[in-house]
A and B are shown apart, each in its own frame.
Chain A
Amino acid sequence: MLRKELIKIGLDCADCKEVLMTMGQEFVNVGVAKETYPQALVDREANYPTALPAKAFDIATPHTFAEHVNEPAVGIAILAHPVEWQQMGSPEITLHPQVIFMLAVTDPKQQIGTLRKIMMLIQDPERLAKIKDLKTVDEVYEAVKDVFN
Protein backbone atom coordinates (compact mmCIF):
# COMPACT_ATOMS: atom_id res chain seq x y z
CA MET A 1 0.00 0.00 0.00
CA LEU A 2 2.91 2.34 0.68
CA ARG A 3 4.35 4.02 -2.41
CA LYS A 4 7.60 5.90 -2.63
CA GLU A 5 5.89 8.56 -4.78
CA LEU A 6 3.60 9.26 -1.82
CA ILE A 7 6.40 9.84 0.69
CA LYS A 8 7.18 13.54 1.07
CA ILE A 9 9.96 14.86 3.27
CA GLY A 10 10.17 18.46 4.45
CA LEU A 11 6.73 19.30 3.08
CA ASP A 12 6.32 23.00 3.78
CA CYS A 13 2.65 23.85 4.34
CA ALA A 14 0.99 26.81 6.04
CA ASP A 15 -1.88 24.83 7.51
CA CYS A 16 -3.75 21.57 7.71
CA LYS A 17 -5.79 22.31 4.58
CA GLU A 18 -2.66 22.86 2.48
CA VAL A 19 -1.28 19.51 3.69
CA LEU A 20 -4.53 17.78 2.72
CA MET A 21 -4.78 19.43 -0.70
CA THR A 22 -1.09 18.92 -1.55
CA MET A 23 -0.84 15.30 -0.43
CA GLY A 24 -4.33 14.53 -1.72
CA GLN A 25 -3.34 15.78 -5.17
CA GLU A 26 -0.30 13.46 -5.11
CA PHE A 27 -2.69 10.54 -4.55
CA VAL A 28 -4.70 11.71 -7.58
CA ASN A 29 -1.54 12.13 -9.67
CA VAL A 30 -0.39 8.53 -9.11
CA GLY A 31 -3.91 7.28 -9.84
CA VAL A 32 -4.89 5.76 -6.50
CA ALA A 33 -7.53 8.42 -5.80
CA LYS A 34 -10.17 10.25 -7.79
CA GLU A 35 -10.15 14.00 -8.55
CA THR A 36 -12.66 14.48 -5.73
CA TYR A 37 -10.28 13.02 -3.12
CA PRO A 38 -8.39 16.15 -1.94
CA GLN A 39 -11.53 18.22 -1.32
CA ALA A 40 -13.24 15.22 0.28
CA LEU A 41 -10.33 15.01 2.73
CA VAL A 42 -10.76 18.67 3.61
CA ASP A 43 -14.53 18.35 4.04
CA ARG A 44 -14.28 15.28 6.20
CA GLU A 45 -11.50 16.75 8.30
CA ALA A 46 -13.64 19.81 9.03
CA ASN A 47 -16.34 17.61 10.56
CA TYR A 48 -14.26 14.79 12.00
CA PRO A 49 -10.61 15.69 12.50
CA THR A 50 -7.88 13.04 12.54
CA ALA A 51 -4.92 14.32 14.58
CA LEU A 52 -3.87 12.08 17.45
CA PRO A 53 -1.62 12.72 20.45
CA ALA A 54 0.83 9.84 20.03
CA LYS A 55 3.40 9.18 22.74
CA ALA A 56 6.30 10.44 20.65
CA PHE A 57 4.60 13.53 19.17
CA ASP A 58 1.32 14.43 17.51
CA ILE A 59 0.45 12.74 14.22
CA ALA A 60 -2.55 12.80 11.90
CA THR A 61 -4.22 10.09 9.83
CA PRO A 62 -6.38 11.89 7.25
CA HIS A 63 -8.66 9.72 5.13
CA THR A 64 -12.09 9.85 3.56
CA PHE A 65 -14.83 7.73 2.09
CA ALA A 66 -14.09 4.88 -0.31
CA GLU A 67 -16.08 6.50 -3.13
CA HIS A 68 -13.15 8.91 -3.66
CA VAL A 69 -10.56 6.12 -3.81
CA ASN A 70 -9.44 3.90 -6.69
CA GLU A 71 -7.15 1.56 -4.80
CA PRO A 72 -5.74 1.21 -1.29
CA ALA A 73 -2.67 3.37 -0.62
CA VAL A 74 -0.72 4.99 2.16
CA GLY A 75 1.30 8.18 1.97
CA ILE A 76 3.62 9.69 4.54
CA ALA A 77 4.40 13.39 4.84
CA ILE A 78 7.11 14.59 7.18
CA LEU A 79 6.36 18.28 7.52
CA ALA A 80 8.99 21.00 7.53
CA HIS A 81 7.23 22.38 10.59
CA PRO A 82 4.16 21.31 12.60
CA VAL A 83 0.77 22.76 11.62
CA GLU A 84 -2.35 23.19 13.73
CA TRP A 85 -4.70 20.24 13.47
CA GLN A 86 -7.78 19.37 15.50
CA GLN A 87 -7.80 16.21 17.58
CA MET A 88 -9.81 13.15 16.63
CA GLY A 89 -12.76 12.78 18.98
CA SER A 90 -12.09 16.14 20.65
CA PRO A 91 -12.25 18.82 17.95
CA GLU A 92 -11.94 21.55 20.57
CA ILE A 93 -8.33 20.45 21.16
CA THR A 94 -5.61 21.73 18.81
CA LEU A 95 -2.62 19.47 18.19
CA HIS A 96 0.56 20.12 16.19
CA PRO A 97 1.38 17.06 14.10
CA GLN A 98 4.60 16.87 12.15
CA VAL A 99 4.19 13.42 10.61
CA ILE A 100 1.10 12.67 8.53
CA PHE A 101 -0.06 9.18 7.54
CA MET A 102 -2.55 9.69 4.73
CA LEU A 103 -4.76 6.73 3.94
CA ALA A 104 -6.73 5.76 0.88
CA VAL A 105 -9.04 2.99 2.02
CA THR A 106 -11.42 1.02 -0.19
CA ASP A 107 -12.55 -1.74 2.15
CA PRO A 108 -11.53 -1.57 5.80
CA LYS A 109 -12.24 -5.30 6.19
CA GLN A 110 -9.63 -6.05 3.54
CA GLN A 111 -7.15 -3.54 4.90
CA ILE A 112 -7.63 -4.22 8.61
CA GLY A 113 -4.17 -5.80 8.92
CA THR A 114 -2.57 -2.60 7.70
CA LEU A 115 -4.80 -0.42 9.86
CA ARG A 116 -3.80 -2.36 12.97
CA LYS A 117 -0.13 -2.10 12.07
CA ILE A 118 -0.52 1.67 11.74
CA MET A 119 -2.03 1.66 15.23
CA MET A 120 0.98 -0.23 16.54
CA LEU A 121 3.32 2.22 14.81
CA ILE A 122 1.51 5.19 16.37
CA GLN A 123 1.98 3.55 19.78
CA ASP A 124 5.73 2.99 19.30
CA PRO A 125 7.51 6.23 20.30
CA GLU A 126 11.04 5.11 19.38
CA ARG A 127 10.04 4.07 15.92
CA LEU A 128 7.99 7.19 15.25
CA ALA A 129 10.81 9.43 16.46
CA LYS A 130 13.24 7.68 14.12
CA ILE A 131 10.97 8.16 11.11
CA LYS A 132 10.61 11.88 11.75
CA ASP A 133 14.37 12.41 11.52
CA LEU A 134 14.98 10.45 8.32
CA LYS A 135 16.28 12.50 5.40
CA THR A 136 15.46 10.55 2.25
CA VAL A 137 12.41 8.87 0.76
CA ASP A 138 14.30 5.57 0.50
CA GLU A 139 15.17 5.67 4.19
CA VAL A 140 11.55 6.29 5.18
CA TYR A 141 10.34 3.57 2.85
CA GLU A 142 12.80 1.04 4.26
CA ALA A 143 11.93 2.03 7.84
CA VAL A 144 8.21 1.38 7.49
CA LYS A 145 7.76 -0.99 4.56
CA ASP A 146 7.04 -3.91 6.90
CA VAL A 147 4.09 -1.95 8.29
CA PHE A 148 2.43 -1.27 4.97
CA ASN A 149 3.27 -4.07 2.57
Chain B
Amino acid sequence: MGVRFLTVCGSGIVTSSMLAETIGDWLREEGYEGVEVNECNPSEMANFLARQHHDFVAYASPIDHDQLDGVPAIPAIGLITGMGTDEFYENVKQVLSDVGIYPGK
Protein backbone atom coordinates (compact mmCIF):
# COMPACT_ATOMS: atom_id res chain seq x y z
CA MET B 1 0.00 0.00 0.00
CA GLY B 2 1.22 3.50 -0.80
CA VAL B 3 0.88 6.84 0.84
CA ARG B 4 1.86 10.38 -0.12
CA PHE B 5 2.10 13.31 2.28
CA LEU B 6 3.26 16.91 2.27
CA THR B 7 5.33 18.60 4.99
CA VAL B 8 5.13 22.38 5.38
CA CYS B 9 7.41 24.70 7.32
CA GLY B 10 8.40 28.36 7.19
CA SER B 11 11.32 28.05 4.83
CA GLY B 12 10.29 24.76 3.27
CA ILE B 13 13.78 23.47 4.01
CA VAL B 14 14.90 22.58 7.50
CA THR B 15 11.89 21.61 9.62
CA SER B 16 9.95 20.15 6.70
CA SER B 17 12.94 17.90 5.96
CA MET B 18 13.10 16.71 9.57
CA LEU B 19 9.38 15.95 9.44
CA ALA B 20 9.57 14.25 6.04
CA GLU B 21 12.30 11.84 7.14
CA THR B 22 10.81 11.09 10.54
CA ILE B 23 7.25 10.54 9.35
CA GLY B 24 8.45 8.60 6.29
CA ASP B 25 10.37 6.17 8.48
CA TRP B 26 7.37 5.70 10.74
CA LEU B 27 5.04 5.02 7.78
CA ARG B 28 7.43 2.39 6.42
CA GLU B 29 7.54 0.74 9.85
CA GLU B 30 3.75 0.77 9.87
CA GLY B 31 3.78 -1.32 6.71
CA TYR B 32 3.55 1.06 3.78
CA GLU B 33 5.67 0.09 0.80
CA GLY B 34 5.43 3.18 -1.36
CA VAL B 35 6.03 6.26 0.77
CA GLU B 36 6.19 9.53 -1.11
CA VAL B 37 6.74 12.91 0.44
CA ASN B 38 6.94 16.47 -0.80
CA GLU B 39 8.20 19.46 1.18
CA CYS B 40 7.26 23.09 0.81
CA ASN B 41 6.67 26.43 2.50
CA PRO B 42 3.15 27.74 3.19
CA SER B 43 2.92 29.85 0.04
CA GLU B 44 3.77 26.82 -2.11
CA MET B 45 1.27 24.50 -0.42
CA ALA B 46 -1.72 25.12 -2.68
CA ASN B 47 0.33 24.39 -5.79
CA PHE B 48 1.64 21.12 -4.38
CA LEU B 49 -1.85 20.02 -3.41
CA ALA B 50 -3.27 20.95 -6.83
CA ARG B 51 -0.55 19.08 -8.69
CA GLN B 52 -0.78 15.72 -6.91
CA HIS B 53 -3.05 13.87 -4.52
CA HIS B 54 -1.70 13.92 -0.96
CA ASP B 55 -3.18 11.79 1.82
CA PHE B 56 -2.33 14.33 4.51
CA VAL B 57 -0.37 17.49 5.31
CA ALA B 58 1.96 17.77 8.33
CA TYR B 59 2.67 21.40 9.15
CA ALA B 60 5.12 23.25 11.38
CA SER B 61 4.13 26.76 10.42
CA PRO B 62 0.72 28.40 10.19
CA ILE B 63 -1.07 27.43 6.99
CA ASP B 64 -4.15 28.73 5.23
CA HIS B 65 -6.68 25.99 5.94
CA ASP B 66 -8.88 27.28 3.11
CA GLN B 67 -6.18 26.14 0.69
CA LEU B 68 -6.23 22.51 1.83
CA ASP B 69 -9.06 21.58 -0.53
CA GLY B 70 -10.23 18.82 1.81
CA VAL B 71 -6.80 17.31 2.52
CA PRO B 72 -6.47 16.54 6.26
CA ALA B 73 -3.82 18.70 7.97
CA ILE B 74 -2.06 17.69 11.19
CA PRO B 75 0.02 20.05 13.34
CA ALA B 76 3.52 18.59 13.69
CA ILE B 77 5.50 20.79 16.07
CA GLY B 78 5.03 18.12 18.75
CA LEU B 79 7.03 15.72 16.62
CA ILE B 80 10.02 18.08 16.66
CA THR B 81 9.94 18.84 20.38
CA GLY B 82 9.09 15.27 21.38
CA MET B 83 6.14 16.55 23.36
CA GLY B 84 3.18 15.32 21.35
CA THR B 85 4.75 12.54 19.29
CA ASP B 86 2.13 9.93 20.22
CA GLU B 87 -0.70 12.37 19.61
CA PHE B 88 0.68 13.23 16.18
CA TYR B 89 0.90 9.59 15.09
CA GLU B 90 -2.56 8.84 16.48
CA ASN B 91 -3.86 11.65 14.30
CA VAL B 92 -2.10 10.24 11.24
CA LYS B 93 -3.48 6.76 11.93
CA GLN B 94 -6.97 8.21 12.24
CA VAL B 95 -6.69 10.19 9.02
CA LEU B 96 -5.40 7.19 7.07
CA SER B 97 -7.94 4.83 8.64
CA ASP B 98 -10.74 7.20 7.68
CA VAL B 99 -9.88 6.79 4.01
CA GLY B 100 -9.22 3.07 4.38
CA ILE B 101 -5.49 3.04 3.66
CA TYR B 102 -4.03 2.34 7.10
CA PRO B 103 -2.30 -1.06 7.07
CA GLY B 104 -3.43 -1.52 10.66
CA LYS B 105 -0.38 -2.94 12.31
User: A interface vs B, CB < 8 Å?
Assistant: 44, 47-50, 52-55, 61, 63-66, 87-91, 103, 105, 108-109, 112, 115-116, 118-119, 122-123
B13 touches A105 (CB 8 A): yes
State the Cβ distance, B38 to closest chain A Cβ, in Å.
Answer: 13
User: How far, in whole Å, are A63 and B11 apart by their CA atoms in the complex?
Assistant: 9
User: B interface vs A, CB < 8 Å?
Assistant: 9-11, 13-18, 21-22, 39, 41, 59-62, 75-77, 80-83
A66 touches B81 (CB 8 A): no
Main secondary structure of the interface of B (DSSP, over half): mixed
A108 touches B82 (CB 8 A): no
| Residues of chain B lying within 8 A (CB to CB) of residue A47 | 10
User: How far, in whole Å, are A50 and B80 apart by their CA atoms in the complex?
Assistant: 11
A63 touches B13 (CB 8 A): yes
Q: Can you list 22 A-B pairs with a CB-CB distance of less than 8 A? A: A48-B9, A48-B11, A49-B10, A50-B10, A52-B77, A52-B80, A55-B81, A55-B83, A65-B11, A87-B77, A88-B10, A88-B60, A88-B77, A88-B80, A89-B59, A108-B16, A108-B17, A112-B17, A112-B18, A115-B14, A115-B18, A122-B82
User: How far, in whole Å, are A54 and B62 apart by their CA atoms in the complex?
Assistant: 19
User: How far, in whole Å, are A122 and B14 apart by their CA atoms in the complex?
Assistant: 14
B10 touches A48 (CB 8 A): yes
User: How far, in whole Å, are A91 and B77 apart by their CA atoms in the complex?
Assistant: 12
With A54-B81, A64-B11 already in contact, the answer to whether A89 and B17 are too (CB < 8 A) is: no
B62 touches A91 (CB 8 A): yes
B11 touches A119 (CB 8 A): no
